[in-house]
Structure 1
Amino acid sequence: MIFGIGTFFLVETGFILSPDVITQNVETVKNNALNGTLDEVSIPDYIEYTKLSESGNYVYGSIQDEELIKEVCEKGKVNQLRFMNGTTYELVSNSSEKWILGYKSATSQFSNNFLRNIFPSADLTIIICFLLVVIIGFLVILKLYRNRLSKELNKITNIQKTILSDDEEISELSSPLKEVNDILIILSEMEKTVKESTKKQLKQAQLLENSIQSLTHDIQTPATVVSGNLELLEETNMDIKQKEYVKYAQDGISKISEYVEELKTLAKLEQPKTKYVHFNEKYVDNLISLANQIARLKNVTVSVIQKDLTDDLLIEPKDVQKAFQNIISNA
């Protein structure tokens, strides 16, 4: 609408000459030439011209192309067609002189000489300017909406941060964009649910940790008492079998202490540090000793037929020991 009103205003004020106006002015110049009243001053700047004598000799004018002048004199009218910029050259003569007039009547032109020389077709210039303004306007609007959308999407990111943070308050956000606002509502509800669930889990984890800490303390106390009594028992006179039984009991107390430490680690929800060992003869002998301790409780004798050893295999000692202990106990 702005371009339409602007173009209409420029045409009405004469800044842009429409094809109809150019055609009317050309007809006026032709009539003056036929009547013999045409002079150089009265010819508009947008009309090319050349005055010839009755015999066809060049007198003066803006058209100086001899080949073009000769062709127009022979044919009477010559059209040089170009895209939206065709020029018509026409011979107009009377009894005493001849005129060759060149004009563009298929397109609008600027009345200003400078603009007309740079932009021969006002129509094409207006179309190009219109397209440029549309493209630039589209890019500006796109950038504005991109910034606006980015600002609204940042609200979603902020909710994500508050969900992952225990310290931040639950956010109350809204957006003028319906789609983003719907997402914000869903995320806000999710945020509340997650925070409530997290608080509940933390509370339960704390209760569990306190319970396990208390339980491990209760287990550790009698285990310490048993271990101390076994040490006192070692100082008495015992035969070989009794000493072997005491050693088995001490090994069992040591394993109880290890299990208590594992319980403490689990209570803190920490990943226990793993120390790998080689599957060598020392480790295998410990497994055989464990098998003998378990078997003796059932009056079963363990016989080792073959030991396969390697220093190339790294294992997690506690897990392998538990698995081996379960196999022996079940057998």
Structure 2
Amino acid sequence: MRKSKTIKRDFYNLVIKIFVYTVISTIVTYGILIMTMSLRNSKPTDYYVKYINQIAEEVKKNGDSILNGNLINIKKYNEELQGEVIDLSGNHLYGENGVKNDKFDILISINQEKYDNNYIYRYIGITQNNSIKAIYVIKAPFDYIINNYKTNMGATLIYILFMILPIIYFLLYLFIFTSKLYKSMSKNINILLGGVQKISDGDYDFYIDGVEGREFNKIQESFNTMVKVLRGNIEDLSTLDEERRMMVSSIAHDIRTPITVIKGQIEIIDDLKDKPNYKMDDNMKIINKNCDRMTTLTDNLSLFYKVEGENFLLKNEKVDLEKLLKDKQIEIRSMAEKKNVEIEFKINLKKQKYVLDENMLFRVLDNVLYNSLRFTQKGKITLEAYDDVYDMNKINFKCSDTGTGFKQKDTSKLFKAFYQDEDYKNHFGLGLYISQKIINNYNGKIEAYDNQFGGATIEFYIKELEEYFIS
């Protein structure tokens, strides 16, 4: 249940709990304090009102005497009482001076009680011959603390506590419940910080668990997803780093091998050059062959780094694709005749010209066809090229042979840089990788699989480039 709560709901609950607990605690404590104060014989706030009522009755009975200057002895009721007789204009006549309160309108206040600054004022009209001739002003304390602080300090202190108790309870429960909420949120934050620390320590093989609250659960899920992505990226970087090391090693090997052969042939020539009738034609053929091999490797490496670059772009030009394919058929057929391999091209293209990069497409076709010819000792190689039925900008290619097929079950590895087949270790392993990179720039896709004849099939498609990009 706790895991589904939101932070917003937690704060709502916090406010409600503080309010409810404060009210209940205050009510219970008030009841106890009221009982305590009643047992201490304290003077309530309106304690002096009863004396004022008695004095008012006495004033009514002795109006004529008061007007003649015979004041009532109000001190006999209580020492805290004060009295002053004033005329209807508010002027002092008898008694204590300054008892009246200038805040009140005298005529409106006759026979009424007024309250100001913890005191009660009673303006009692003094009548003679049924008319009010003067006003007797009685002043008395009207505050619990004033009534008791001299005679009952204990009750006074209890009353002060009574007044500030809600604030004390509020602060107490605010501290208790916010501390509890803080501990819960602190626990969640510490779990997340622990995960952050693991990442900073280079540990990505973990996931965090145990947080509470809907928002923190979302953060936890996002955090675990981030760690998973980071772990994958680290593994990819590690794999990439390993591939780079293998690539450097493979390049070094591929360069060292023909150089070693060339060096060996030169040493043979040097040893045999002085012998009569010695011909170095065979040695030169071997040297030329290995020089060609190094040239091919250099060209492939140059193209490899070109297609790897972020700024690699295809050149847009109008190409007579059918003519290009027919020329390629003549070229590959001349090579295949030496191995008694039949070459067949099935071309079904509707347009006369297509917007393509001729050189890059030529490179792809070379890689696919010569790779097929390399592993086909007899039989047939077929290349199909046709427009897509559903997408007029899409061109499909399919090269099938009757060769040995793919030894690699996971054919996706064929498209990795410097991949080498077990049966053909002296191959550089860049052709299909470069082809895939070029095809990707055509917004296309390439795949490889074994066909029903036991041979290999490489199938790919490319999309015609936008014509308005042609310079």
Greater share of residues in helix:
1
TM-score, structure 2 normalization: 0.36
Greater share of residues in strand:
2
TM-score, structure 1 normalization: 0.46
